[in-house]
A and B are shown apart, each in its own frame.
Chain A
């Protein structure tokens, strides 16, 4: 059977403030797959997540991104979200005075449709989801990320992800700065969101989260493109040998 990919990135070149960071990145993610994207600082991991979501400061100079068969680069960020793309931010911003419940009402309405955002049912769903992520009910009435601890911010992202029911989830270093309990909860949330139609792109530079969310495929990003792809065994190798050997072997073959 021929299944269409969720995400198809071809020869992507992109950067910020006139500086090219991604230099010919290729990636395909199919429904049901978990992909891990690993790489050292400065390799272009966050640039990729920003470009995928459509951050206005980032510029795509070459290449294509197709999401569910659509040209993603033509869509503003809100259309990407409505099409089923979700980004869990590495550093989610605070929005003072806007409660979690208020944002989620607007977001569910925009992404899942008005029918799905009826007040009573949605409130019930929000409470249930919050409890499942081991958060207090009062969390719904707090202002978004305002005064949240690092762990709370990451759980907030997972909470939103569960409510928006995306087709492709991009987790941008969601594991950084988390203690083991928070990490376990985040992983539990991702497992709940995963299904045969859903894909995950897990951006990280630690193997720790990958023990909780085992990837089908692992890619190593260096200097703006993927230099090596493989199975889960690649994670252990990175952990043992670091990135330098890959850099060297990549240099040798190019």
Chain B
């Protein structure tokens, strides 16, 4: 499995819809099995949502 750091770097791109479809699917599958990355994603998601407004 790729390291957390690899997926953490993809959080922004995922939230901004900038990941390639295959990377997006891999990223989504990863956060289903990785509470660490999901916690980061969940936290960053709301902040990004606010910053985009």
A and B part of one assembly: no
